[in-house]
Every structure is written in structure tokens, then in C-alpha cells.
Amino acid sequence: MVQVTPGRPRRIGLMGGTFDPIHLGHLRAAEEIYWAFELDQIIFIPAARPAHKDTEKVVSALHRYEMVSLATVFAPYFTVSSIELRRPGRSYSVETVRELLKIYGEGTTLYFIMGVDAFLEIPTWKDAQDLFSLVQVIVTARPGWRLDQVEVSLTPELRKMLGEPQFKYLKISEITAEIARQFTPGLVLLVEVASLDISSHEIRQLVEEGRSIRFLVPDTVAAYMAKNRLYQKRKR
């Protein structure tokens, strides 16, 4: 359930991903955005059948959903949604956003949070331009990518495909209440969060090699992975 102050519009963050598995990089980025943008809640949305990944190689959606639940257990303002798990076919963010806007109705602003690597893939997303008009897009930093170079690196074709968005580059400390509360369709906020150099890919590899993943994922997630023998090398 979303906790809201009566009379105040709802402000909900959405963080989609494969979360195979969820790690502290995801959680820290979400934490910083939650506080800076004075959100009511952030909903983590595991993709059932990620549109851009080989689903054969991804662990089951139920395991990934469970891990997100366990990872967010200590943060009352983080929740997990099974919305993409319940929908047949590939998982497209634009469909999820349309569904959520119908559920929450007027007076709700959705803040769509994604890492810079995901943003740069957006031209391949379904109805990207529509998505940009429905939500406040927040792009967060990630090691290996220059957030302040995103705007200049977009080709004119890409800009057109995204509906000629405007960009605003911000450090967390520069986010005022006024910026946090605005919803400007077509404006992409590039936010310099304290990004951690962690990826799910690296975690899967460490587990396969039998090495430690402590302090890269929450302990609850590490325990779940061990209990269910996720990502371990298959015995032949």
C-alpha cells in the first residue's frame, strides 16, 4: 500500500529491472532518489520476461521477485510489484506505466528511475516517446558511464526518436523542493547519485566461482541465493 499525506498528490518512484539478482547498487540509487525527490514510495518491478535479455539464461521470475522482497524488507518505503509477472508476453515498461496510471488515477506522478546504461538503450524500447510523456524520467549515474556526457552523445536521430527531450544535469545536493515536485513531460533529469560499481553479472560470476558476495547484496538476498542454490555452477 502507498502511504500518502491526505491532500498531497501521490509521488511514486518506479524502478524496473531484471534484478538477477538485486544488489546494493540498485538499492543505493533508489534510496538517494527517494529522499531527494520526497517520494511516497518506490516500487521495484522485476521484469518477467525482460524485453532485451535472453530469458533462458535468467533465473525464474519468482526467485527474482522473492529476492527483491527480501532486499527491501528493512525499507518501509520500498515495495515490489508483480505487475509484470502477471502479464503474459514480454515485459514492456510503457505497458506497466499505463496500467499503473490507471490504478492510481489522477493526482499521481510517476518517477521512472533508470540507470544511464538503461537510458542509452531506450531507443530499442517499445513506445519510448509515449513513455517519456507519461512519467518524470530520472536517469541515475553508474560507474563506467559519464552522466554529464549523455546529452552530447545522443545523435539527432535518437533525439527525434525520443521526442526531442530536454536535459537537466543535477547533483543530489542541487535538488530543491521545487525541482523535486515538478513534473515536466519530456524533461530528462540526469542525477548524479553515489553510484556503486556493482552489477548482477559480476555477482552471478562470483557465485559461480564460489567466491564471496558479502556487502554486494543484502544478507537476506545472499541467504536466499544460497538456500536455493542460485547461480551456482551446475554439477555435471
The packing angle between helices 219-227 and 61-71, to 10°, is 150
Judged by CB under 6 A, the chain residues 126 through 185 that form the site for ligand ATP are: 140, 142
Restricting to residues 55-114, name those near ligand ATP by CB under 6 A: 114
Map the chain to HEC letters: CCCCCCCCCEEEEEEEECCCCCCHHHHHHHHHHHHHCCCCEEEEEECCCECCCCHHHCCCHHHHHHHHHHHCCCCCCEEECCHHHHCCCCECHHHHHHHHHHHHCCCEEEEEEEEHHHHHCHHHCCCHHHHHHHCEEEEECCCCCCHHHHHHHCCHHHHHHCCCCEEEEEEHHHCCHHHHHCCCCCEEEEEECCCCCCCHHHHHHHHHCCCCCECCECHHHHHHHHHCCCCCCCCC
Q: How near is the Cβ of 93 to ligand ATP at its closest, in Å? A: 10
Report the residue number, 4 or 127, with the smaller CB distance to ligand ATP.
127
Q: What's the min distance (Å) between Cβ of 5 and ligand ATP?
A: 28
Instruction: Using the rule CB under 6 A, give the single segment among 16-24, 123-131, 160-168, 214-222 that binds ligand ATP.
Output: 16-24
Residues 194-213 that bind ligand ATP (CB under 6 A): 195-196, 198-201
One character per residue 103-122, x = contact with ligand ATP (rule: CB under 6 A): -----------xx-xx----
Nearer to ligand ATP (CB atom), residue 181 or residue 205: 205
Least Cβ distance, residue 53 to ligand ATP (angstroms): 7
Residue from 13, 19, 96, 190 that binds ligand ATP (CB under 6 A)?
Answer: 19
Task: Count the site residues for ligand ATP by CB under 6 A.
Answer: 19
- 23-62: contacts with ligand ATP (CB under 6 A): 25-26, 29
Residue nearest to ligand ATP (CB): 115
State the residues that interact with ligand ATP by CB under 6 A: 17-20, 25-26, 29, 114-115, 117-118, 140, 142, 195-196, 198-201
